[in-house]
Structure 1
Amino acid sequence: MDFVQSVTVWKRRPIQLSVLAAYLLSLTFSLIYGYAAARSRTAERLLMPLLDVLQSVPILSFLPVVLLSLSALLPQAIAIELGLHR
């Protein structure tokens, strides 16, 4: 591996880490959501219609909600990076 390729790999590291963070957040959410729906009839009756609605909404409409939610929970720079993954 020459120097140019080595520098390129390190420049892309923050992007790779933000993708990993987004993946882990979505995996955690989906496992908790699925577990709750599978274990409780009440949770299933509440969560499954919500899931149907959320699947039909375009992904870009979630962006403001995600940014506001993340900025309330995390420092602003981290929230923006997670919300606006490049």
Structure 2
Amino acid sequence: MSPDTETAERANPRKVREGIVTSASMDKTAVVTVTSQYRHRLYGKTVKRSTKLYTHDETNDLNVGDRVRVQETRPLSKQKRWRLLEVLERAR
């Protein structure tokens, strides 16, 4: 198996999430809130749960309200473990 196919067919691929930028005031860092929905085991009601991800933004071009796609990466700082893949929609 060549090194090219080894990374493409990774046994445990990196997680990719979509979310909304909630803070972009730090240097080269943005906070992305990812909201997930699931059904409650007992009551069957749909429950929303949100998670804050500290994301690396090399060019500082993200603004609050942007919809983005982020990918898991190696630890970049104490809390930062995600990097920006693409901006899906700019805030109005």
TM-score in terms of structure 1 length? 0.25
Which protein is bigger by CA-based radius of gyration?
1
Higher strand share: 2
TM-score in terms of structure 2 length? 0.25
| Greater RCO, CA 8 A, separation 6+ | 1
